[in-house]
Amino acid sequence: MQFIDLKVQQDRIKDKIDANIQNVLAHGKYILGPEVKELEQKLAEFTGTDYAVGVASGTDALLMPLMAYNIGPGDAVFTPPFTFIATAEVIKLLGATPVFVDIDATTYNMDTTKLEEAVIKTKEEGKLNLKGIIPVDLFGQPADYDEINAIAEKYGMFVLEDAAQGFGGSYKGKKACSLSHSAGTSFFPAKPLGTYGDGGMCFTNDKDIYEKLLSIRVHGKGTNKYDNVRVGLNGRLDTLMAAILLSKVEIFPEEIELRQVVANRYNEKLADYVTVPRVKDGNISAWAQYSILHPDREKVMAGLKEEGIPTAVYYPKPLHLQDAFADLGYNKGDFPVSEDISGKVFSLPMYPYLSTENQDKIIEAVKKYA
Ligand SMILES: *Cc1c(COP(=O)(O)O)cnc(C)c1O
């Protein structure tokens, strides 16, 4: 059994993938070829946003909007410490300061009460400019955007949605990536919509940000590639990656449905044995991960391993305790919910094509060892 088995999907759409790859090899436009534009249009439509920009990774999909917002030294960007490092890494890469905000104990997303407290504290200290917020749609569930957007507006900040795990999910009827000023997602193979390599996409309704993203994506180009109006990146999504994704977008809505079936079944059968994930009313999770809590996770994980069932821990150490952010001066105890959850959380195999048989095997093993 695999943690995420990408082969079942590949077998299902193999002809389409092959044909799309052959098309690229035939036209030869490997850099920003027509498939990139087609994918941008399809996913802008899917998410209900005006503009989409295909980029080289999910990390670039967060870094580039921050560059477009002109983030730099002296700027504060608020984000949770219980996430993948890329979320806060991009803030620090630009010389700005990540200000961590603890998570909610049931959704594991940014706690909006603590967000406003952190904003007020930072404002009172007067050392940093209040610039932006990067909420994370952790494990696939959108964060609390009504509250977050209201706080952002009150203090004059932007919101950049980290939807690397949330793509395909929704919040009060609106799709992830459309929930704030801008958003970034990832097409890393194991994400809900994954390609066969690295890739990502930025989304926004803001024409000015969109135009800056197009420039930043190609070394800060102006009217042409050799007219450079700002410092940018080589941040392009490969044509081949876009072609592979185009073969997957048609079945993607169905796959999100299949993920609900798997997650609902896990929830129903495991609720009495472990802490199962809670999806808020009005939210649909993309179920990038199915993550549960157990006070002795090492025991349960070891038992599952013995039965040939792989598990993973997202994330064993919150970012405020990582050496990479030591200079921010945080200590153990600063974000108790993140620290508590990171000591108990682990994830079970989750993908749209996980068979009922394998699911039963996993459920029985969790019951046995939990
Ligand atoms: C995967 C991930 C990223 C980064 O995406 P890459 O494509 O690997 O660069 C950023 N944020 C979160 C929450 C992620 O899970």
**Residue ranges covered by each domain of the chain:** 6-101+108-249, 252-369
Amino acid of residue 149: N
What does residue 364 show for φ and ψ, rounded to 5 degrees?
-60, -40
106: CB partners within 8 A, 6+ apart:
278
pLDDT (0 to 100) of residue 141: 98
Residue range 137-187, pLDDT digits in tens: 999 999 999 999 999 999 999 999 999 999 999 999 999 999 999 999 999
Q: Which SS3 state, helix, strand or coil, does residue 360 take?
A: helix
252-369 to CATH, choices 3.40.50.720, 3.30.930.10, 3.90.1150.10, 3.40.640.10? 3.90.1150.10
Residue 96: count of CB within 10 angstroms of its CB = 22
Among 89, 186, 241, 313, say which to mutate for ligand 1: greatest number of ligand atoms within 8 Å of CB: 186
Residue 112: count of CB within 10 angstroms of its CB = 20
The residues lining ligand 1, judged by C-beta closer than 6 Å to any ligand atom, are 57-59, 83-84, 86-87, 136, 162, 164-165, 186, 188, 198, 200
**CA within 13 Å, CB half, 198:** 9
pLDDT (0 to 100) of residue 9: 97
CB burial of 265-285 (b: ≥16 within 10 Å; e: otherwise) equals ebeebbeebbbbbebbeebbb
pLDDT (0 to 100) of residue 224: 84
Nearest ligand 1 atom to the CA of 60 is 9
Tell me which architecture the domain covering 6-101+108-249 has in CATH.
3-Layer(aba) Sandwich (3.40)
Contact 105, 113 (CB under 8 A): no
**Is the previous residue joined to 315 through a cis bond, with omega within 30 degrees of 0?**
yes
pLDDT (0 to 100) of residue 337: 98
119: CB partners within 8 A, 6+ apart:
78, 130, 151, 155, 157
Among 134, 139, 165, 285, say which to mutate for ligand 1: greatest number of ligand atoms within 8 Å of CB: 165
What does residue 363 show for φ and ψ, rounded to 5 degrees?
-60, -45
317 class by beta-carbon count within 10 Å (0-12 exposed, 13-18 middle, 19+ buried): middle
Residue range 31-49, pLDDT digits in tens: 999 999 999 999 999 999 9
Nearest CA to ligand 1 atom 6: 58
Share the mean pLDDT of the chain.
Answer: 98
pLDDT (0 to 100) of residue 225: 80
Tokens standing for residue 60: 């670039």
226-231 average pLDDT score: 93
